[in-house]
Amino acid sequence: MTILTRITRTTAAAALAFGFASGASALELRGWNIHVEDYPVSIAMESFLAEVAEKTGGEITGKVYHNGVLGSQPDAIEQMRLGVMDFGEFSLGPMGQAVPETNVVSLPFIFSSIPDMYRLMDGEVGDAIGEGMIDKGIMPLAWYAAGARSFYNSVRPINTPADVEGLKVRVMSNDLFVKMIESMDGNATPMAFAEVYQSLKTGVVDGAENNPPSYESTSHFEVAKYYSLTEHLIIPECLCMSLKTWEKMTPEQQEIVKAAGRASAEYQRELWADREAASMEIVQAGGTVVNSIADKAPFQAAMTPVYDKFLADNPALTDLVNLIRNAE
């Protein structure tokens, strides 16, 4: 038997086993994920792939690479745009450098609450941001939860913006977050997620900011014990696919993938609520000193320069910003 006949026979056998429509080619997707395997995002991504494989009768399968082993988030976003990475789950924070529209959700205190964020993302605001992503080669499938981000550091509890003064704070890679820290006279250091633990431990930075599950799952709480619930950023996340991969699919497959994405987001949002509560318990049991912020108004007021600069630099996004700010 020649190699060619062997390959043809194997493919035909696989096609029979999975009941492919003749002529449809199989796709095997590579998925990027930064989180540990038991994280809500990770579990939901696996359920997404399982549903896609099942509903396409095995035509579309894949693998999620957890723990950021396929590289940093900004790099992975670029790779997805190029079609080297098929799909991934990304914070819209670092996506701002590639897709300007996503920056509106990285503005501090832009959403008045998490339910508001869901409602707006599942409607007009999400659609507008999604169009911006498609323009840049990224197909959004669904919006995942990431709660609210708060500051933690190893020096002191933060109660007012003045407490941030002089602190070296790690931020995600986006100029907006640098400006956010500078507006409180802190020193911002953009840095990859994977480097934060060591940098906190060795004092390269004094602190960082994140939601409870990330603060806990990375063990950052072990090296930065003051967690101050400023909840200054509510940044949604996206399960999304390279447009190049998307375009390889039939319309039926695209529909299956979209529906599986949405179902996985519902699941992820449920898992998220449980994990947030569990993470808060773990960090407190581990010695974290948590303080809530009675009055967030001074923090909101400190963000005026961030908004002023953003709107001056991006006048075309004014309407989108106002759509969120004026939402009832």
Among residues 79, 106, 150, 210, which is the contact residue for ligand BDP, using CB under 6 A?
210
Kind of pairing between the strands at 138-144 and 168-171: unpaired
Rounded Cα distance between 2 and 141, Å, is 42
Q: Are 146 and 40 in contact (CB under 8 A)?
A: no
Q: Determine if 73 is a binding residue for ligand BDP (CB under 6 A).
A: yes
x-or-dash string of contact with ligand BDP, 222-241, rule CB under 6 A: ---------------x----
Q: Which residues pair with 9 in a beta bridge?
A: none
Task: Yes or no: say if 120 and 324 are a contact pair by the CB < 8 Å rule.
Answer: yes
Q: Which is nearer to ligand BDP, 34 or 280 (CB)?
A: 34
What's the CA gap between 133 and 154, in Å, rounded?
Answer: 37
Among 103, 150, 189, 214, binds ligand BDP (CB under 6 A): 214
- Judged by CB under 6 A, the number of residues near ligand BDP is 10
Q: Which is nearer to ligand BDP, 15 or 138 (CB)?
A: 138
Distance CA 265, CA 89 (A): 11
At how many degrees (to 10) do helices 304-313 and 318-325 cross?
A: 140
Work out the number of other CB atoms within 10 angstroms of the CB of residue 10: 10
Starting at the edge strand found earlier in the chain, the sheet holding 237-242 runs 60-65, 27-32, 87-91, 237-242, 138-144
Binding mask 102-141 toward ligand BDP (x if CB under 6 A, else -) reads ----------------------------------------
172/317 with CB nearer ligand BDP:
172
Please give the span between the terminal C-alpha atoms of the chain, in angstroms, as a whole number: 70
Backbone phi, then psi, for 249, in 5-degree steps? -95, 155
Q: Which of 211, 245, 253, 264 binds ligand BDP (CB under 6 A)?
A: 211
The correct pick among 151, 193, 226, 310 for binding ligand BDP (CB under 6 A) is 193
Q: Which of 120, 172, 256, 265 binds ligand BDP (CB under 6 A)?
A: 172
Least separation in angstroms between residue 253's CB and ligand BDP is 27
The residue whose two tokens read 């501090």 is 108
Candidates 179-187, 209-217, 220-228, 258-266: pick the segment binding ligand BDP (CB under 6 A). 209-217
| Whole-number Å distance between alpha carbons of 279 and 243 | 35
- From residue 103, how far is each of 95, 110, 210, 280 by CA, in Å? 8, 11, 17, 28
Give me the least distance between CB of 214 and ligand BDP, in Å please: 4
| Closest distance of CB 152 from ligand BDP, Å | 11
Binding to ligand BDP by residue 91, rule CB under 6 A? yes
Which range, of 20-28, 180-188, 210-218, 224-232, touches ligand BDP by CB under 6 A? 210-218
Using CB under 6 A as the binding rule, whether residue 33 contacts ligand BDP is answered as no
Two tokens at 265?
Answer: 């987001």
Q: With contact defined as beta carbons under 8 Å apart, do 205 and 199 qualify?
A: yes
Which segment (207-215, 241-249, 256-264, 280-288) binds ligand BDP by CB under 6 A?
207-215
Kindly tell me which of 53 and 76 has the beta carbon lying closer to ligand BDP.
76
Residues that bind ligand BDP (CB under 6 A): 34, 73, 91, 146, 172, 193, 210-211, 214, 237
